[in-house]
Amino acid sequence: MNIEPIGVVKSPATEAVDKDWGKVTAEIHIDNRWSPGLAGLDQFSHIIVVFYMHQSTFTPTSDLVRRPQGREDMPMLGIFAQRARHRPNPIGITAVPIVKLEGNVITVKGLDAVNGTPVLDVKPYFPDYDRIESPKVPEWVTKLMVGYF
């Protein structure tokens, strides 16, 4: 499997943290050879960004089953039951609003990726595909997300 980045994140966030991502405005710089593929993206309010969490590590003994954010008030869960960055394949995916699109640069708000993060793909947000009307999530998720965005 060969995957090459289509761009890179330019962000004031240089360290992965578990709160306040909603305040971060970042730019996604798309490689010039792919910039024609941005045609029409300005007609959308949101995109889904797929990225490689290049600063993440994964150690099965400590990361396969763990407490979200290492918090004692969270249950022990398998990595596939949470959105932690330390995963077997550190691929991130986040839906974000487009602030502006100029040339090959997409400015977004709330992207939880640090400066220098390789971007693997950008997709327009389609409510019919991407929205779940009444999702079921455990109580701990609501508690965990306080202050995250």
83: domain CATH number? 2.40.30.70
Asked if 91 and 4 count as a contact pair (C-beta separation under 8 A), the reply is no
DSSP assignments along 8-54, one per residue: EEE-S--S--SS-GGG-EEEEEE-GGGGGGGTTGGG-SEEEEEEE-T
Say yes or no to pLDDT of 22 above 80: no
23 is a domain residue? yes
78-112 pLDDT tens trace: 999 998 889 999 999 999 999 999 999 999 999 99
CA distance 88 to 109: 27
CA distance 8 to 30: 7
Count how many domains the chain has. Answer: 1
What is the pTM assigned to this prediction? Answer: 0.89
Domain holding 64, by residue range, is 7-144
49-75 pLDDT tens trace: 999 999 998 999 999 999 998 899 999
149 is a domain residue? no
